[in-house]
Amino acid sequence: MSVQSSRAHITLSTLNKLHAEGKKFASLTAYDACFTQILNQADVEVILVGDSLGMVLQGHDSTLPVTMQDMVYHVACVKRGNSRAFIMADMPFMSYSTDSETLDNAASLMRAGAEMVKLEGGAWLASSTRLLAERGIPVCVHLGLTPQSINQIGGYMVQGRADKQAETMYQDALALENAGASMVLLECVPTSLAKRITEALNIPVIGIGAGPHTTGQVLVLHDILGISPIRPKFVKNFLAGTEGDITRAIQNYAEDVREGRFPGPEHSFN
């Protein structure tokens, strides 16, 4: 049964208003109803049901084995536990390779409770983005380090350090906004590039390992609680010093994001 709340539900309009006012918002991953309720209590604005569940929950070494069935199941779990946050869901590997697959799979996620879908790629996603946006499905496009392309990239490394790659990413972001994207997520890109893209777009930009200048920040929940076996440079353990209070740790993360205290230089890339 869904948890009821007197607080207003966060919508895309809410996030656009925060962006227009120069205010920041916090996002975290969640994959079940229990943690979703805790994120609601901690006032996290955006919940990402990420295909990161393949590594965090399922024990795979990448996100590639995650299926649409997996994603629909976990989106539905999060929806049942949610009372306030805006829910974004990943389209898993090869679930948007054709127009018909894109529409059918995005519709499945929206029926399960998503309010936005996230696709990984560059300007080549413009037609898919336009297709979804024209049919009322908000799209977030994921640029930079795109885990679904890990075999092509060759490893989990910072993207956009070379001038040519940085310019391509910048132009991709502009093209995708023009195609109807409602949001952009930048992963593992230099702070200066993330700042340039954020300032050029009229839509919110969420960063993970992208420095402090983006509209929002997102991290994997298990990472900020210090229970992941590997902790990337852009992660901070917010559970440390809270005597094991998970809700307080998540509140600290959300407050630090909104106040601009996180991420710091030690969590960012030059």
- Residues marked as binding? 51-52, 90, 118, 120
User: How many CB atoms are closer than 10 A to CB 84?
Assistant: 20
Determine contact, residues 174/129, Cβ cutoff 8 Å: no
- Active-site position among 187, 243, 255, 266: 187
34 to each of 30, 142, 171, how far by Cα in Å? 9, 27, 40
Residue pair 164/122 in contact (Cβ under 8 Å)? The answer is no
3-class DSSP assignment, residue 87: strand
Rg of the chain in Å (alpha carbons): 17
Q: What separation in angstroms does the CA of 100 have from each of 103, 121, 231?
A: 5, 18, 38
Summarize the chain as % helix, strand, coil (round to 5): 45, 15, 45
- Binding-site residue positions for 3-methyl-2-oxobutanoate: 51-52, 90, 118
User: Is residue 187 annotated as a catalytic residue, yes or no?
Assistant: yes
Say if CB 238 and CB 216 are below 8 A apart. Answer: no
Tokens 């993207």 label which residue? 159
Per residue in 33-63, is it b (16+ CB within 10 Å) or e — as a string? Answer: bebbbbbbbbbbbbbbbbbbbbbbeeeeeeb
The residues annotated with a catalytic role in the active site are: 187
